């Protein structure tokens, strides 16, 4: 069984140094093969492969475009890694923002909470968490990507096309600020760059969970 890591184009663009650090660690620790964009490289996966992902969109695309391959989130992989050196945040409290794109991936969601505990962080939950998650920043307030039509049509078009409601940038800001009023902590941790963008537009201190892992935010 080969582990194939998809580093996520958006996370790599958001945090290129941490993305490189993570790739190097995975190659050394688990002998993973690092590949490129899920929209192109899904065709390289075989039935004996397990794809490892950091991006919720990658997971949605790969499980539909390469259903023969197994999946494993980076959070599940790291949560079970006895050698990983975790930072210690000394009991600091953060709010967890789950992403709509992985609302039905309970294994990943549970691993996210485990990773947060490993870093000595306290997690504050909001009402719309786990399978109730309906947030993905302003990505749902824009037209959906054309690639969804052929890479994940069931997930994003047939089952969720109604969720995409394009509106103006000013309306997006208003809606993000309304969403962010529910947070009771200064820091909101998320694992999706779309969620992160929306949280910051809403005026709250958002941080990507992987940046917390590498203690660089």
Residue 216 has pLDDT above 90, yes or no: no
Distance CA 165, CA 163 (A): 6
Q: Given phi > 0 = left and psi -120 to 50 = alpha, else beta, which region is 137?
A: left
Q: How high does pLDDT run on average in the chain?
A: 96
pLDDT at 215: 85
Q: What is the mean pLDDT of residues 17-26?
A: 97
The pLDDT value recorded for residue 217 is 54
pLDDT digits (tens, 9 = 90+) for 128-138: 999 999 999 99
Residue range 162-189: mean pLDDT, rounded: 97
Residue 1 in this model has a pLDDT that exceeds 90: no
- pLDDT-based confidence at 172, cuts 50/70/90? very high
| Measured CA angle at 21 (ends 17, 24), to 5 deg | 135
The pLDDT of residue 2 is above 70: yes
User: Which residue stretches of the chain are H helix?
Assistant: 9-14, 16-30, 38-41, 56-65, 74-79, 106-118, 148-151, 153, 169-180, 193-201, 209-213
Dump pLDDT digits (tens) for 89-123: 999 999 999 999 999 999 999 999 999 999 999 99
Q: Is it the case that residue 201 has pLDDT exceeding 70?
A: yes
Strand 70-73 relative to strand 49-53, pairing: parallel
């Amino acid at each position: 069984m080969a582990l194939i890591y998809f580093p996520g184009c958006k996370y790599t663009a958001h945090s290129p140094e941490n993305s490189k650090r993570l790739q190097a660690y995975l190659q050394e620790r688990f002998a993973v093969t690092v590949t490129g964009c899920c929209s192109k490289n899904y065709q390289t996966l075989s039935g004996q492969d397990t794809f490892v992902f950091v991006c919720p969109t990658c997971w949605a695309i790969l499980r539909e475009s390469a259903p023969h391959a197994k999946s494993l989130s980076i959070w599940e992989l790291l949560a079970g890694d006895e050698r990983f050196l975790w930072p210690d945040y000394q009991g600091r409290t953060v709010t967890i923002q789950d992403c709509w794109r992985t609302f039905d991936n309970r294994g990943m969601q549970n691993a996210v909470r485990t990773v947060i505990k490993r870093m000595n962080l306290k997690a504050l939950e909001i009402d719309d968490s786990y399978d109730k998650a309906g947030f993905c920043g302003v990505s749902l307030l824009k037209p959906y990507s054309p690639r969804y039509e052929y890479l994940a049509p069931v997930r994003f078009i047939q089952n969720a096309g109604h969720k995409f409601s394009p509106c103006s940038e000013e309306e997006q800001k208003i809606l993000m600020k309304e969403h962010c009023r529910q947070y009771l902590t200064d820091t909101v941790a998320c694992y999706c760059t779309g969620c992160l963008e929306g949280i910051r537009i809403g005026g709250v201190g958002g941080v990507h969970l992987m940046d917390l892992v590498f203690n660089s935010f």
